[in-house]
């Protein structure tokens, strides 16, 4: 490496109080030096100062929060009037889909640390019977939309440096699951450095600064900077249906939700469900200082969590499940604001090398990561719709390796939903004493997406006598 490049990065690090990053310089190969130099060159001084400031505030416990109040919700329909309104929403959503105004937008840049799976989470085999991956389910759902509405929604997928290559390869190896590759758009989110409690950068390796993806809220800048937002707009897309990689019950581009969003002229909307109990760790929807918001579980007081209305219902019952619609124009508008989406600070385990160059795998959180959350964009929305949906039908995330919200619970929930569809289509489903289906069941979205379609497609006399796959 030439002297002047080295001097420049050393000076930059000195100015930022981070010279220790070059601690192992003498031991590095030329290629490793180049890699580290590039990372230092990319460091944004303003961002780093901002993160250090956030960390100081976080550590000093100063966390001002605004006044919280509930917001109006679209509830699960119970009356004829509700149902008529729901149908109108569905028709509006279907019309938007037929006219190609909706794209699916998946955020899949996370590191899936809790699941502990060695590949991107979307490649995880989640089929109750087969090895059908989360990605395959999603792709099949998108193809089913194409069958139904005559236009297959384009699919934008956000990856991160850690998941990008493996994700693209997975899609290529599976021929994009039958989708048109020209309508699948990958883009990579930014990363931000982790900091130790003193605000120092950590080295993941002697030649690499520890960085992590900047949160699912990184999607706004990443989709715009990559050019994908413009490409979607050129295709006529106006609404983005945002979802996460790990919920196999997701109704991608759900026409009812899209329809409410469109009919209400909303800029950003969210699906919500009833919290199981006051203490369930879900962010709740409300207004903070008069602006729409999702308030993280940890930012609620016990009083707020337990507060009830006159009818006895929780005042803040509506948990956000990270399913949103937002408009292409809204993304542009948020990006044009000075403040953008804030960073949140999280205490995490960050593997690193210590001052002696020894690798450390922490047992306890040792450093701070910074993430943006997409729901923070709600504060910029003039209009928003919050639609209640049923957990049993729409939400079963794969977060942990075992226990709650794990592959086991997701497969069980898939089987339960498929059993209900089959029964509604007139098929007898053998059930055990506990009422759960005796055999795992799997229905590809390419075969049917609900009882009506099933009824039309099932052969006469169809019986379940063991694990069953319909595809």
Which of 160/468 has CB closer to ligand UTP? 160
DSSP 442: E
Kindly state whether residue 111 participates in binding ligand UTP, applying the rule CB under 6 A. yes
List the one residue from 33, 101, 121, 369 that touches ligand UTP (CB under 6 A): 121
Which structure tokens are listed for 100?
């190609």
Segment interacting with ligand UTP, rule: CB under 6 A, options 51-59, 200-208, 243-251, 267-275 = 243-251
- For position 367 contacting ligand UTP by CB under 6 A, the verdict is no
- Decide if residue 349 touches ligand UTP (CB under 6 A): no
Distance of closest approach, residue 273 Cβ to ligand UTP, in angstroms: 16
DSSP at 459: P
Distance of alpha carbon 214 from alpha carbon 56, whole angstroms: 19
* Dist. CA 399–CA 113, nearest whole Å: 9
Q: Is 320 in the site for ligand UTP (CB under 6 A)?
A: no
Q: Is the Cβ–Cβ distance between 272 and 387 less than 8 Å?
A: yes
Q: How far, CA to CA in Å, does 90 sit from each of 143, 203, 394, 442?
A: 19, 51, 16, 26
Find the shortest distance in angstroms from Cβ 10 to ligand UTP. Answer: 30
The DSSP-derived string for 326-348 is EEHHHHHHHHHSSS-SPEEEEEE
Taking the chain, what is the end-to-end CA distance rounded to the nearest angstrom?
Answer: 57
Of 449, 403, 438, 77, whose CA–CA distance to 249 is shortest? 449
Q: Is 239 in the site for ligand UTP (CB under 6 A)?
A: no
Nearer to ligand UTP, 18 or 189 (CB): 189
Taking CB under 6 A as the rule, does residue 130 contact ligand UTP? no
For ligand UTP, the closer CB: 123 or 387: 123
* Pair 179, 138: CB distance under 8 Å: no
Q: How far is the CB of 372 from ligand UTP (least distance, A)?
A: 8
Minimum CB–partner distance for residue 432 and ligand UTP (Å): 32
CB nearer to ligand UTP: give 16 or 341. 341
Which range, of 88-96, 214-222, 256-264, 402-410, touches ligand UTP by CB under 6 A?
214-222
The sign of the dihedral angle between the CA atoms of 340, 345, 349, 353 is positive
Size of the site for ligand UTP (CB under 6 A): 23
DSSP secondary structure string for all residues of 162-180: TTHHHHHHHHHHTGGGGS-
From 52-60, 208-216, 339-347, 436-444, give the range in contact with ligand UTP by CB under 6 A: 208-216
- CA gap 99, 329 in Å, rounded: 18
User: Does 108 contact ligand UTP by CB under 6 A?
Assistant: yes
| Residue with token string 């109006």 | 72
The residue among 302 and 361 lying less far from ligand UTP, judged by its C-beta, is: 361
Give the Cα separation of 300 and 284 in Å (integer): 9
Query: Which residue among 5, 10, 75, 114 contacts ligand UTP (CB under 6 A)?
Result: 114
Task: Say whether residue 259 binds ligand UTP (CB under 6 A).
Answer: no
What distance in Å separates the CA atoms of residue 111 and residue 125, rounded to the nearest whole number? 17
Q: Which of 10, 399, 412, 455 binds ligand UTP (CB under 6 A)?
A: 399
Alpha helices in 150-216 (DSSP H): 164-173
| Smallest separation, CB 218 to ligand UTP (Å) | 6
Task: Quote the CA–CA distance of 444 and 462 in Å, as a whole number.
Answer: 17
Task: Tell me: does residue 348 bind ligand UTP (CB under 6 A).
Answer: no
Judged by CB under 6 A, the chain residues 145 through 174 that form the site for ligand UTP are: 158, 160
Give the footprint of ligand UTP on this chain (CB under 6 A). Answer: 107-115, 121, 158, 160, 189, 213-216, 218, 244-246, 371, 399
């Amino acid at each position: 490496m030439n002297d002047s490049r080295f001097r420049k990065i050393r000076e930059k690090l000195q100015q930022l109080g981070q010279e220790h990053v070059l601690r192992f310089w003498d031991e590095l190969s030329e290629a490793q030096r180049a890699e580290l130099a590039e990372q230092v060159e990319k460091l944004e001084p303003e961002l780093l100062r901002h993160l250090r400031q956030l960390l100081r505030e976080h550590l000093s416990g100063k966390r001002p929060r605004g006044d919280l109040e509930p917001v109006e919700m679209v509830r699960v329909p119970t009356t004829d009037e509700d149902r008529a309104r729901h149908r109108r929403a569905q028709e509006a959503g279907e019309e938007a889909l037929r006219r190609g105004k909706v794209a699916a937008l998946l955020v899949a840049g996370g590191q899936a640390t809790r699941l502990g799976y060695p590949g991107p989470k979307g490649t995880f085999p989640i089929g109750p019977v087969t090895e059908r991956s989360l990605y395959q389910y999603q792709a099949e759902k998108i193809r089913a939309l194409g069958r139904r509405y005559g236009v297959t929604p384009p699919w934008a997928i956000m990856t991160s440096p850690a998941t990008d290559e493996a994700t693209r390869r997975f899609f290529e190896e599976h021929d994009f699951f039958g989708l048109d590759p020209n309508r699948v758009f990958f883009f990579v989110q930014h990363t931000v450095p982790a900091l130790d409690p003193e605000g120092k950068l950590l080295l993941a390796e002697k030649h690499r600064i520890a960085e992590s993806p900047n949160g699912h809220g990184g999607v706004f800048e990443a989709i715009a900077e990559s050019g994908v937002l413009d490409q979607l707009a050129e295709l006529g897309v106006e609404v983005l249906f945002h979802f996460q990689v790990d919920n196999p019950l997701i109704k991608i581009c759900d026409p009812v939700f899209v329809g409410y969003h469109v009919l209400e002229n909303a800029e950003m909307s969210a699906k919500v469900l009833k919290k199981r109990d006051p203490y369930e760790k879900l962010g709740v929807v409300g207004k903070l200082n008069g602006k729409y918001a999702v308030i993280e579980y940890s930012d609620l007081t016990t009083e707020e969590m337990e507060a009830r209305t006159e009818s006895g219902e929780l005042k803040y019952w509506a948990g956000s499940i990270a399913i949103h619609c937002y408009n292409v124009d809204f993304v542009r508008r948020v990006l044009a604001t000075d403040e953008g989406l804030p960073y949140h600070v999280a205490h995490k385990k960050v593997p690193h090398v210590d001052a002696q160059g020894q690798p450390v795998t922490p047992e306890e959180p040792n450093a701070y990561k910074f993430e943006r959350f997409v729901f923070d964009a709600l504060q910029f929305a003039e209009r928003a719709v919050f639609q209640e949906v049923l957990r049993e039908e729409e939400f079963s995330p794969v977060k942990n390796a075992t226990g709650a919200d794990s592959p086991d619970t997701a497969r069980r929930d898939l089987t339960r939903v498929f059993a209900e569809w089959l029964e509604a289509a007139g098929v007898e489903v053998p059930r055990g004493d506990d009422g759960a289906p005796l055999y795992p069941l799997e229905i590809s979205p390419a075969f049917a997406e609900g009882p009506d379609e099933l009824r039309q497609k099932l052969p006469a006399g169809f019986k379940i006598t063991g694990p069953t796959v319909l595809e």
